């Protein structure tokens, strides 16, 4: 029997995925499942470029507003929600269009994302201390455990990936390459579906211009006021660390005395760095623009 098809539309931030997805979903009668690591948090609407109420009225949306920003919604939590949505929509005889650019969440639709390795409290506490000490401390500890060199596939500039690698290395006592090989042999949560992916891209100059215009529209639309709700939250939570909110919170901590244009430029720089990270994820997942 043919496997049910799951469509996936991805691409870097500000490429125009939202409008493209709305047109495609309206034409095909599909429902949209968001695949965005920030849109899962309630109240983070402007800075996440979350689909507006008017856009959601055009097509049913799922995967939005799943948790308050004071909580940490794991990829495993997202996958459970996504699987339930896909099963429900398919039972109703409709198609699902997955839309978003968050690499780790995207990978859930193309392979395994979580293992059953138990992480004890002692390991979690050691990793928490190392995480608080910063990327160099985590790299040094992991390099020591690995015998002098980190595997090339590990994103050693990403503190969350380093923390996860440390947890698994410490808990298992086995090299990261061995753990990765075992992990990749597992079936993914959507292995029973045929995933057809499309990457929406734009030339760099055009994308930079779209980012700059979007940043200024966000600031004019209330990004600073929206970011205030994150003040006082732990810095290691995903919401305060998200691009746009992180820079705005830094600006607020400095008393909000800098110009808004300087804030906009800081957000632009971080957003462009995010584009680079997203494109690396797409290549790692074997996703290329058509």
- Tell me the pTM: 0.85
> For residues 66 and 73, is the Cβ–Cβ distance under 8 A?
yes
- Whose structure tokens read 């503190």? 159
Sequence spans of domains, the chain = 5-114+188-201+280-284, 121-184, 204-277
pLDDT in tens, the chain (290 residues): 578 999 999 999 999 999 999 999 999 999 999 999 999 999 999 999 999 999 999 999 999 999 999 999 988 899 999 999 999 999 999 999 999 999 989 999 999 877 778 899 999 999 999 999 999 999 999 999 999 999 988 988 888 889 999 999 999 999 999 998 988 888 899 999 999 999 999 999 999 999 999 999 999 999 999 999 999 999 889 999 999 999 999 999 999 988 999 999 999 999 999 999 999 989 988 998 86
Tell me what pLDDT residue 1 has: 56
Which CATH code for domain 204-277? Answer: 1.10.287.890
Tell me what pLDDT residue 97 has: 98
> For residues 267 and 261, is the Cβ–Cβ distance under 8 A?
no
Tell me what pLDDT residue 87 has: 97
> For residues 87 and 252, is the Cβ–Cβ distance under 8 A?
no
Tell me what pLDDT residue 186 has: 87
Long-range contacts of 156-165 (CB under 8 A, 24+ apart): 158/277, 159/131, 159/134, 159/135, 162/131, 162/135, 162/138, 163/127, 163/130, 163/131, 163/138
Beta bridge partners of 61: 32
CB-based contacts of 166: which residues, under 8 Å, 6+ apart? 126, 127, 130, 138, 141, 142, 145
At 247, list the tokens.
Answer: 């820079």
Closest CA to 173 of 136, 139, 138, 147: 147
Residue 259's alpha-carbon distances to 84, 206, 215, 228, 264, in angstroms, are 45, 25, 14, 17, 9
Asked whether this chain's domains 5-114+188-201+280-284 and 204-277 adopt the same fold, the reply is no
Rounded to an integer, what distance in angstroms lies between the CA atom of residue 230 and that of residue 225? Answer: 10
- Whose structure tokens read 């043919």? 2
Tell me what pLDDT residue 169 has: 95
The DSSP output letter for 102 is: -
- Whose structure tokens read 């990793």? 127
Tell me what pLDDT residue 244 has: 98
CATH architecture of the domain 5-114+188-201+280-284 equals 3-Layer(aba) Sandwich (3.40)
């Amino acid at each position: 029997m043919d496997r049910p098809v799951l469509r996936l539309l991805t691409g870097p931030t500000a490429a125009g995925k939202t409008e493209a997805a709305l047109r495609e979903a309206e034409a095909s009668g599909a429902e949209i499942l968001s695949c965005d690591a920030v849109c899962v948090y309630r109240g983070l609407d402007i800075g996440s470029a979350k689909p507006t109420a008017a856009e959601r009225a055009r097509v049913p949306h799922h995967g939005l507003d799943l948790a308050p920003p004071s909580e940490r919604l794991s990829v495993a939590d997202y996958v459970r929600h996504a699987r339930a949505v896909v099963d429900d929509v398919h039972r109703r005889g409709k198609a699902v269009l997955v839309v978003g650019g968050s690499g780790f969440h995207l990978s859930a639709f193309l392979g395994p994302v979580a293992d059953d390795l138990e992480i004890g409290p002692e390991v979690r506490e050691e990793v928490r201390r190392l995480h608080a000490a910063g990327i160099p401390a985590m790299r040094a500890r992991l390099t020591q455990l690995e015998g002098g060199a980190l595997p090339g596939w590990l994103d050693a500039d990403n503190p969350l990936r380093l923390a996860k690698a440390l947890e698994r290395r410490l808990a298992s006592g086995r090299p990261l390459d061995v753990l990765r090989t075992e992990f990749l042999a597992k079936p993914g949560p959507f292995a029973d579906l045929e995933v057809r992916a499309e990457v929406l891209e734009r030339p760099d100059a055009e994308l930079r211009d779209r980012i700059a215009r979007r940043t200024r529209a966000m600031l004019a639309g209330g990004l600073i006021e929206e970011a205030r709700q994150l003040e006082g939250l732990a810095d290691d939570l995903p919401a305060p660390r998200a691009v746009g909110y992180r820079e705005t919170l830094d600006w607020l901590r400095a008393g909000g005395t800098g110009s808004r244009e300087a804030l906009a430029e800081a957000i632009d720089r971080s957003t462009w760095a995010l584009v680079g990270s997203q494109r690396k994820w797409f290549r790692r997942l074997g996703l290329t623009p058509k």
